[in-house]
Amino acid sequence: MSQSVHNFGAGPSVLPASVLARAQHEFLNFADTGMSILEVSHRSAPFDRTIRQAEANARALLAIPDNYSILFLQGGATTQFAAVWYNLMAARVIRERFPPGASPIPVDYLVTGTWSKKAAQEAAHLGASVNIVFDAAKSAATHHTYTGIPPRSEWQFSGPDGRDAAYVYYCDNETVHGVEWDHVPTVHPDTILVCDMSSNIMSRPVDVSKFGIVYAGAQKNMGPAGVTFVVIRNDLLAHADPSTFTPFPIMLDYQVAQANNSLYNTPPTFAIYMCGLVYDWIQEQGGVAGMAEQSRAKCALLNTALARSRLYLCPVAEPYRSRMNVVINLTQPDLEETFLKGAQALGMLQLKGHRSVGGIRVSLYNALPLESVRTLVDYMTEFEAEHL
């Protein structure tokens, strides 16, 4: 981001200025090769060092245990909606839990907004037997909208705590609706927990050992668009007898990606390189704990302003209000366009809410400086005083 604008976009989104400057500095001569990173073979030693270092740094940042693999894949987080289901249906440890030929094998989805809903729909589309544990838009407790998480008493797992499901799936932060889990949902130890952390990964410490799979598109907290980060417990990589599951595309096969160190085919070299630079930056900021600390300061500023306002209203209450994407509705919706235009004129960009929900959305990702939030809050205060 240049110094003169404030980028509140939901993704692709702001990257640390120092990371962009470093990439610019190294752009024409990557690792003393005399070539740009864009021109270097993915099989070359310098690129190999880059991807291995990125992997090691991501492992350190998220304290990923040794019995998990890290994969850098393509197709965006959306591709993982399918890959998760295909891979887990093929996994020997899962197949062993169900009698041979057992069909359908239930998979449990916790639906908190657009992204978990899309994931559930994709699995169903491919033939999964999807059990919706809850859909927050159908719960009175969340006002029949995606503004929170229904109480556990309303959840309907397959078996106790999902015991009879192959896996339990949820999205840690709903980017469109601004709903974020404040805890990891407890599931039965026999099932596998799968989580989409696309829009809050590396923004706080996480106990990876609770999960079978965690994945994230990079283009919010981790780097540019084009690479998807997947963490998978190694025992889930081994396939069952091929006669027991539906064959699926090799590009979706985590086992193949892992066996080839994410280099089965040509990976998105530039995007992976950029993630490596972002990991270095996060490390310099005190790691993911440092990011959580900075996030607290940014949220406190914005949430305090929201609490005292009569114009700005966030439909998502604590504790599920996202720390990453704050959705704001104006009590006078006709002022929205004026608000956005005024913000734009002052260099505050990409504040428009997702096309499906409208309103304003303030994304507070890792790389967004506190100063940008201060600028926005000042503008919000002045705008309210002027128009209300």
Q: Which residues contact 137 (CB under 8 A, 6 or more apart)?
A: 111, 144, 145, 146
Choices 41-49, 192-200, 264-272, 287-295 (CB under 6 A): range interacting with ligand PMP: 192-200
Place of tokens 């003169």: 4
CB closer to ligand PMP out of 150 and 217:
217
Least Å distance, CB 92 to ligand PMP, is 28
12 lies in the binding site for ligand PMP (CB under 6 A): no
Rounded-to-integer distance, Cα 201 and Cα 217, Å: 9
138 in active site: no
Q: Which residue's CB comes closest to ligand PMP?
A: 76
Catalytic residue among 108, 164, 172, 196: 196
**CA dihedral for 242, 243, 245, 249, sign (positive or negative):** positive
Place of tokens 């106790």: 160
Among 9, 11, 16, 185, binds ligand PMP (CB under 6 A): 11
Among 164, 180, 196, 280, binds ligand PMP (CB under 6 A): 196
Least Å distance, CB 170 to ligand PMP, is 11
78 lies in the binding site for ligand PMP (CB under 6 A): yes
220 in active site: yes
Eight-state DSSP code of residue 98: S
Pick out residues in 155-174 that bind ligand PMP (CB under 6 A).
Answer: 171
Catalytic residue among 135, 172, 220, 352: 220
Rounded-to-integer distance, Cα 286 and Cα 256, Å: 34
Choices 53-61, 84-92, 195-203, 297-305 (CB under 6 A): range interacting with ligand PMP: 195-203
**What token pair was written down for 287?**
């790691």
Of 296, 329, 305, residue with least CA distance to 315:
329
Choices 74-82, 205-213, 278-286, 359-367 (CB under 6 A): range interacting with ligand PMP: 74-82
Among 199, 269, 322, 350, binds ligand PMP (CB under 6 A): 199
Strands (E), the chain: 6-7, 68-73, 106-111, 129-135, 167-171, 173-174, 179-180, 192-196, 213-217, 228-233, 312-313, 325-330, 348-349, 360-363
161 in active site: no
91 HSE (CA, 13 A, CB side): 24
77 lies in the binding site for ligand PMP (CB under 6 A): yes
142 lies in the binding site for ligand PMP (CB under 6 A): no
What residue ranges bind ligand PMP (CB under 6 A)? 11, 76-78, 115, 171, 175, 196, 198-199, 217
User: Any idea which residues carry the catalytic annotation?
Assistant: 115, 196, 220
